[in-house]
């Protein structure tokens, strides 16, 4: 018999190719996809996983097939509006015989269906995977942000927003998942980005360096004043610094405004090539500049991360 949840589509039935849901002898319910594929499963799995299915099974059911012939010995059929692949991906998350796919595109299908059928356990499981496996956020932070906002994964949304700071606005294109969220949610992401950009830029432009403590570097005010004619001094905040270093920090401020993350200034960043070329011509600077810059870069990057961690992403 057929449970008339949705009108059964007038399409030819597809072959049962999705193991283990191709075994009628082990089933007491059949899910029929919109493209005509039948999935043989157990109603207890659906009831335990979904409040929607649990309620569905308590409703009075029709007892006839569309052609009017009663099939009392056949398991009931529930006609769904989802296509076969989506049904297959979803069932794998609730059947202990299966190992579900962790491909992002497959989990997106599952989230869509799990949200519709109120399968909270499935949704929480996928949320944990996307949160704990940082490869997802690292590969597509804006995409993950959109998915997280759509399904209410707040911690994941914050992690994705932070990771997205390494992308300039020009690099945030061709992301189909943005249609899942409101313009307000997208605006909040950009407000967060520009707040972090401003904080990081201001950090680089502040030559007080109160966060450095007692650290001393070859380019600092305590360095010998006479570095030769190729390595002139420049004054910032009433103190003198090597000119190439002032130029380095100006470049760092520009880069941090575009990519406000600690990784932008850690190690020896690419934008340091010009200033380092000047430092290499100075007999005093070149002896320590690379070691000092690596040390400074680590501290600088840590401070950038600290500053952006103080900025909160608004989630409506």
Structure tokens, 290? 């690379």
d(CA 210, CA 262) in angstroms, rounded, equals 18
Question: For residue 222, what pLDDT is reported?
Answer: 85
Q: Tens digits of per-residue pLDDT, 244-269?
A: 999 999 999 999 999 999 999 998 99
d(CA 228, CA 282) in angstroms, rounded, equals 7
Return the HEC string of the chain: CEECCCCCCCCCCCCCCCCCCCCHHHCCEEEECCCCCEEEECHHHHHHHCHHHHHHCCCCCCCCCCCCCCCCCCCCEEECCCCHHHHHHHHHCCCCCCCCCCCHHHHHHHHHHHHHCCCHHHHHHHHHHHHHCHHHHHHCHHHHHHHHHHHCCHHHHHHHHHHHHHCCHHHCCCCHHHHHCCHHHHHHHHHHHHHHHHHHHHHHHCCCCHHHCCCCCCCCCCCCCCCCCCCCEEEECCEEEEHHHHHHHHHHHHHHHHCCCHHHCCCCCHHHHHHHHHHCCCCCCCCCHHHHHHHHHHHHHHHHHHHHHCCCCCCC
Question: For residue 57, what pLDDT is reported?
Answer: 86
Pairing outcome for strands 77-79 and 2-3: parallel
Question: For residue 26, what pLDDT is reported?
Answer: 85
d(CA 182, CA 130) in angstroms, rounded, equals 21
Q: Tens digits of per-residue pLDDT, 173-210?
A: 889 999 999 999 999 999 999 999 999 999 999 999 99
pTM for this model (two decimals): 0.85
Q: Tens digits of per-residue pLDDT, 54-92?
A: 998 886 655 555 444 445 567 899 999 999 999 999 999
Task: Give the mean pLDDT of 144-168.
Answer: 98
Structure tokens, 110? 């599952």
Radius of gyration of the chain (CA): 30
Q: Tens digits of per-residue pLDDT, 125-153?
A: 999 999 999 999 999 999 999 999 999 99
d(CA 47, CA 9) in angstroms, rounded, equals 24
Q: Identify the bridge partners of residue 79 per DSSP, sorted by sequence position.
A: 32
**pLDDT at residue 281 greater than cutoff 80:** yes
What is the pLDDT confidence band of residue 35, given thresholds at 50, 70 and 90?
A: very high
Look at residues 265, 270, 275, 271 and name the one whose alpha carbon lies nearest to residue 241.
275
d(CA 266, CA 274) in angstroms, rounded, equals 17
Q: Identify the bridge partners of residue 241 per DSSP, sorted by sequence position.
A: 234
């Amino acid at each position: 018999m057929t449970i008339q949840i949705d009108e059964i589509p007038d399409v030819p039935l597809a072959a049962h190719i999705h193991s283990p849901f191709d075994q009628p002898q082990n089933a007491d319910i059949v899910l029929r996809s919109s493209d005509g594929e039948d999935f043989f499963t157990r109603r207890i799995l659906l009831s335990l996983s979904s409040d929607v299915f649990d309620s569905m099974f308590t409703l009075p059911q029709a007892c006839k097939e569309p052609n009017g012939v009663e099939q009392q010995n056949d398991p009931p059929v529930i006609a769904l509006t989802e296509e076969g692949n989506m049904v297959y991906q979803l069932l794998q998350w609730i059947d202990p015989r299966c190992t579900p796919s962790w491909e992002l595109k497959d989990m997106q299908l599952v989230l869509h269906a799990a949200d519709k059928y109120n399968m909270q356990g499935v949704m929480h499981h996928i949320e944990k995977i996307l949160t704990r496996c940082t490869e997802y956020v690292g590969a597509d932070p804006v995409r993950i942000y959109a998915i997280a906002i759509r399904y209410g994964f707040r911690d994941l949304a914050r992690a994705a927003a932070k990771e997205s700071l390494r992308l300039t606005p020009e690099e945030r294109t061709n992301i189909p998942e943005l249609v899942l969220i409101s313009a307000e949610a997208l605006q909040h992401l950009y407000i967060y980005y520009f707040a972090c950009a401003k904080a990081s830029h201001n950090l680089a432009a502040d030559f007080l360096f109160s966060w450095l403590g007692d650290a001393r570097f070859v380019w600092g005010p305590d360095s010998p004043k006479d570095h030769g004619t190729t390595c002139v001094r420049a004054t910032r905040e009433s103190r003198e610094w090597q000119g190439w270093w002032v130029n380095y920090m100006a470049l760092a401020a520009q880069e941090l405004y575009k990519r406000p993350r600690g990784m932008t200034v850690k190690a020896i960043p690419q934008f340091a090539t010009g200033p380092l070329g000047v430092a290499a011509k100075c007999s005093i600077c070149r002896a320590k500049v690379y070691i000092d810059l690596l040390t400074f870069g680590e501290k600088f990057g840590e401070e950038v991360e600290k500053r952006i961690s103080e900025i909160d992403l608004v989630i409506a």
